[in-house]
Amino acid sequence: MDLIVNLYQEKLITNQPKLKDDNIIIKRLLSPNSDLLVEFVTNNFNKGWASEIKAAIYKPNPTCLIAIKDHEIIGFACYDATALGYFGPTGVNPKYRGLNVGHNLLFETLKKMKDKGYGYAIIGGGKITSFYGKYLDIIISTDKNNLYNRMIKNK
């Protein structure tokens, strides 16, 4: 199911916790670092996500944010990758989970979407009981027809 997030909700202002490690920095990806992000996503997640993020990173102003610690990518979040107005994919290296990295990537990316003029963000294929439902008020779309129905399925 798709999850819809109102980018004007109060929780985007009040619910963002501090990162638990002062050496972690979140910033927008710079194009020369695109290959590093593709490699990180391929090695830590899957080729499908690596393909998906390419749409977000190979543009003049990449629509991916990255979390960095000690000059290494430890997490990422993208928007406008598969379709305009969509948040994701996103992920954090399991070694760095529990430090509020994913939470901060989510909030910073949604704020960038709001700054770009979006009123709502769509999280495709999300689960309300998952990570997103913990931090945000979510509207659920239960329609079976969605963007991902166009995917070529692997056998």
What's the chain look like in SS3? Answer: CEEEEECCCCHHHHCCCCCCCCCEEEEECCHHHHHHHHHHHHHHCCHHHHHHHHHHHCCCCCCEEEEEECCEEEEEEEECCCCCCEEEEEEECHHHCCCCHHHHHHHHHHHHHHHHCCCEEEECCCCCCCHHHHHCCEEEECCCCCHHHHCCCCC
Range of 139's domain? 2-150
Number of domains in the chain: 1
With respect to residue 155, please indicate whether it lies within any of the assigned structural domains.
Answer: no
Give the predicted TM-score (pTM) of the model.
Answer: 0.90
Mean pLDDT of 47-54: 93
Q: What is the pLDDT of residues 55-77, one digit of tens each?
A: 999 988 999 999 999 999 999 99
> Which range is most confident: 110-119, 131-140, 144-153?
110-119
Average pLDDT, the chain: 91
Task: Give the domain CATH number at 8.
Answer: 3.40.630.30
Above pLDDT 70, what percent of the chain? 91
